[in-house]
């Protein structure tokens, strides 16, 4: 059934614990949605510090993945962010006045200790992540894993967020393809809400909500180890989740074989979004579990990768209510993306 013939519907997102209103735009078919401001991020490489030969212009390097070609001595670099949101100064830990159980009415404050890193995904300015081979994208994912495991050794870091901003309107300040990693001294509220919501679903059904996410109408593609779907209560237009088939709580449990498999399906989804939606700006985020997740939480904590094309802004209703409005039903979005030939 086309979205234009459907009536509005409200669906509960049992992963992020929020309501989504599906209110079809009667004048537009799902296939008509396109980005009005394509990302087009690689229009210039003048003085780009992420390009090969400009390594000295960057913040300190943490590690690199060597290249097998003669064109470059590296294929991936992980560096400190030149303008970090948090400081890696260990002295800040000692200066913190954080009270983990503050009394009501008291403000809570901790020091801004943490890590903010950049993953330069390749040495060539014009190459996007979706231009690379499955194995090369897999190597980027393994670079994430390596850095996550390094941050895990710091007992002050409780959670690591891996994310990518593509296009200026999605938050990318550099056009050279890159992603970011932040190690936080706290477990963010959204992560706690996600775990609590998945716990309630598990208690009610006895099943992990993400193990049950695959549905024929919502499925876009599947591989040996992963499925890609439009979630049942997608908050955003053409939002995609890539979910491990086997129940696993932490992204850093990814092995080499699964990294290549994930690289392939991630590349495919990015290509489908680009072809169908006119190269939209997008964000992707890896939703994993905190390092110190309790054993009792493992049966319902399941990591996944979320891709959000930036096709419409968040308005006052969403900010004020915490509910989202999506003009395209997930089943329709999934069909449109399934039908995109890559």
Residue 166 counted as an annotated binding residue: no
Q: Which sign does the torsion angle of CA 41, 45, 46, 52 carry? A: positive
- DSSP state letters, 202-232: HHHHSS-TTTT---TTTEEEE-SSEEEE--T
116 in a known ligand binding site: no
Enumerate the H helices of the chain as residue ranges: 91-95, 134-152, 189-205, 256-277, 316-321, 330-338
Whether the Cβ atoms of residue 148 and residue 290 lie closer than 8 Å to each other: no
| 178 tagged catalytic | yes
CA nearest neighbour of 91 among 112, 74, 77? 112
Beta bridge partners of 10: 21
- CA distances in angstroms from 242 to 152, 267, 281, listed in the order given: 24, 11, 18
Q: Which of 178, 252, 287, 302 is catalytic?
A: 178
Nearest CA to 300 among 14, 2, 8?
Answer: 14
Pairing of strands 324-326, 18-22: parallel
Phi/psi of residue 109, each to 5°? -145, 135
Query: Which of 231, 293, 226, 285 has the alpha carbon at shortest distance from 255?
Result: 226
- The torsion of the CA quartet 234, 85, 121, 53, rounded to 10 degrees, works out to 160
Does 211 belong to an annotated binding site?
no
**Angle, helices 256-277/134-152, rounded to nearest 10 degrees:** 120
Q: Which residue has the tokens 């088939």?
A: 245
Rg of the chain in Å (alpha carbons)? 20
51 is an annotated ligand-binding site residue = yes
Residue 240, φ and ψ in degrees, nearest 5 = -130, 140
Known binding-site residue numbers for Zn(2+)? 48, 51, 125, 176
Q: Could you list the active site residues?
A: 178
């Amino acid at each position: 059934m086309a979205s234009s013939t459907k009536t509005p519907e409200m669906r509960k997102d049992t992963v992020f614990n929020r309501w989504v209103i599906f209110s079809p735009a009667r004048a537009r078919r799902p296939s008509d949605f396109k980005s009005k401001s394509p990302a087009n991020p690689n229009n210039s490489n003048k003085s780009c510090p992420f390009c090969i030969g400009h390594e000295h212009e960057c913040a300190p390097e943490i590690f690199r993945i060597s290249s097998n070609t003669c064109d470059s001595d590296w294929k991936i670099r992980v560096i400190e962010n030149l303008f970090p949101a948090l400081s890696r100064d260990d002295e800040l830990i000692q200066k913190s006045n954080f009270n983990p159980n503050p009394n009501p009415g008291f403000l809570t404050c901790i020091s801004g200790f943490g890590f903010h890193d950049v993953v330069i995904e390749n040495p060539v300015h014009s190459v996007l992540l979706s231009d690379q081979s499955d194995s090369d994208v897999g190597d980027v994912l393994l670079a994430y894993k390596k850095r996550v495991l390094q941050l895990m050794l710091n007992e002050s870091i409780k959670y690591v967020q891996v994310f990518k901003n593509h296009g200026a309107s999605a938050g990318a300040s550099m056009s050279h393809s890159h992603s970011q990693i932040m190690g936080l001294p706290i477990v963010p509220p959204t992560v706690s809400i996600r775990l609590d919501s998945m716990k309630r679903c598990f208690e009610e059904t006895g099943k992990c909500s993400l193990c049950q996410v695959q549905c024929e109408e919502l499925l876009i593609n599947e591989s040996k180890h992963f499925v890609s779907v439009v979630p049942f209560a997608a908050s955003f237009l053409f939002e995609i989740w890539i979910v491990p088939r086997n129940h696993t709580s932490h992204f850093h449990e990814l092995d080499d074989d699964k990294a290549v498999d994930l690289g392939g399906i991630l590349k495919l989804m990015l290509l489908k979004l680009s072809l169908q939606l006119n190269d939209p700006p997008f964000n992707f985020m890896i939703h994993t579990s905190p390092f110190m997740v309790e054993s009792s939480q493992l049966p319902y904590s399941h990591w996944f990768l979320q891709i959000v094309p930036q096709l419409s802004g968040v308005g006052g209703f969403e900010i004020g209510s915490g509910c989202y409005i999506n003009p395209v039903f997930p089943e329709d979005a999934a069909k449109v993306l399934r039908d995109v030939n890559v």
